A and B are shown apart, each in its own frame.
Chain A
Amino acid sequence: MRRGIGERMWAFAVWTLVGFFVLNLLAMIGSVVVNSFGTRWFNTWLPAGYTTQWYSLAWNEFQLPDILMVTAQVVGAVVVISGLIGVPAAYAMARRNFPGKQAVMFLFLLPLLVPPITYGIPMATVLYQAHLAGTIWGVILANLVPTVPFVILIMIPFVEQIDPRVEAAARVFGAGLLRLFLQVLVPLLTPGILAALLLVLVRTIAMFELTFLTSGPTSQTLVVALYYAVFAAGVRPGQSIDAMAVVYMITTLVWLLIALRFVNPTQIVTRAKR
């Protein structure tokens, strides 16, 4: 196709915009990382000297070992339970047409479309009445609300790709439902399950609103602890807050990179939002 001067200027403008956005994004992340290692930083481009003391300070002051432990427990439980509920449900949704299927599908879509803070406040109220909020189980239940439907919606196309004759053959040879799942479906669905559960993992580490509304002092995850640290800025040196932010970023981004081996970046927003 012939490209006129107008089109080339337009392309230049678009790339400038993208470059400007990416530059600011990287600078934002960079300034957090640099600040977390800096000694004093006034009116210069870079800090006067470098140190790792803020990390040991953050480690002790913010009780990072406890917080990381809680985060690992919450995330682990959410990943396992949403897989156990979500994968069989996705199988049923993909393979059967039953009355009310449309309504069930709508029910699964809603928690993904309604923003967490809107349903989080009534949900936290119910969890407080059940004496579950403030405990680690309250946090896990709250986080399962968006992740169970998320797993279901991701897994449906993966199930649909499997040839139903494979299952029929297994049934003919006498496999029950449990055996069908363990020996036929799970091995065939492994790529889909990995993708779904890794995305659940990343989303749960970063899920602020639901955890914030339902957690107590002993059930905070890393992102909620980071919020409280930033909220109470001034109490502690800013560098130690940034050190904690770096710990959070590393935790999230390592899992994001692993997840991106199995999914396309565009799928992170689209799969769940259909």
Chain B
Amino acid sequence: MSAARLPLHRRLREYGLDSVTLLVIPGVLFVLALFFYPFLYGLMLSFQPKAGGWLANYTKFFSDPFLYDTIRITLVMAVPVTVLNVVLSVPVALRVRLMRHQRLLTTILVIPITLGTVMVAEGLLTYLGPRGWLNRTLLEFGLVDSPVRLVHNYWGVMLSLIITGFPFTFLLTLSYVTGIDPALEQAGAVLGARPRERFRRILLPLLAPGLAITLALAFVQAFTVFPSAILLGAPAGPTRVISVIAYQAAFEQYDYSLASAIAMLMAAVQLVIISLLLAARSLVFRGPASTGKG
């Protein structure tokens, strides 16, 4: 080895660049090529419409109610279900954390996440259908006179988002809740704080950053609902969500440019909502950034 090369070699090592660091390159190249590049490509493609000026896709989207209304439809579905799932998750997670045999419950709850939305859609079609067990039970107990219509409309998709979404928000919340030191709550109890006060003054502030992340992740999942909106909803009407029109533009009209524009708008809405959530989090939460594990 020459004397001139040795210092360079050494200097690179000082920066943490040696043969071990090079092992990260295949992974980086892969994500750049198949995630980053397609995203940029899609962004460029969205400005090269089939007809019209460079903004034609976007002006088309925002002037055609059939297209822009999908944002409202998707939000009307995703926002309530996200809030509901997270709000229900908090008391359940606080209770389950005290449970000794959590494992059975968490295993059961991880099943719908693993099965995925297509399987849940098929299951709910059978279970919620006019001749399914749910309607049978309601009729048997005299709660309804005729079968309730729960599939091929808004409610079918809503229920599928609860079946897959609630376990997700619950398990995520549980991991944040178990990261809070129980001694803090006991200290509150010793000092005479009632359960409600302990929740509001001790647990909630510690949980807030985790809940903001849970809300953000649950929201983007609900916002991109796709198979169940088609299989379990009414994709021509009340559940014509934004991912459905993006798919139709790409694979039914073969207008990849418009499809890319819709995908970019989808990403933009997600980004706006997540930024709002994280901004709200930094307003509410002003303490040390860590709640321990979680």
Contacts and interface: CB of A to CB of B under 8 A. Distances in A.
Contact of B168 (A118, A121, A152, A269): A269
B122 A32 contact: yes
Given A27-B133, A241-B122, A252-B115, A85 B26 contact: yes
B126 A95 contact: no
Given A25-B163, A92-B21, A117-B246, A260 B41 contact: no
Contact of A31 (B127, B168, B247, B260): B127
A107 B92 contact: no
B38 A123 contact: yes
Contact of A265 (B103, B134, B195): B103
Contact of A117 (B19, B31, B107, B226): B226
A45 B221 CA distance: 35
B227 A115 contact: no
What's the dominant secondary structure at chain B's contact region? helix
Interface string A175-214: 0010000000000000000000000001000111100110
A42 B131 CA distance: 7
B79 interface: no
B141 interface: no
A265 B109 contact: yes
B154 interface: no
Contacts of B96: 18
A89 B37 contact: no
B18 A107 contact: no
Interface of A: 1, 7, 10-11, 14-15, 17-18, 21-22, 24-32, 35, 41-43, 45, 85-86, 88-89, 91-93, 95-99, 101, 104, 107-108, 110-111, 113-119, 121-126, 128, 141-142, 144-145, 148-149, 152, 177, 202, 206-209, 212-213, 223, 226-227, 230-231, 233, 238, 241-242, 245, 248-249, 252-253, 256, 260, 264-266, 268-270, 273
Interface of B: 15-24, 26-28, 30-32, 34-39, 41-43, 45, 88, 91-92, 95-96, 103, 105-127, 131-134, 136, 163, 166, 168, 171-172, 174-175, 189, 195, 213, 217, 220-221, 223-224, 226-227, 230-231, 243, 246-247, 250-251, 256, 259-260, 262-263, 266-267, 270, 294
Given A107-B36, A122-B45, 10 more contacts: A14-B95, A24-B163, A29-B123, A88-B24, A89-B26, A98-B17, A114-B270, A209-B227, A226-B122, A268-B171
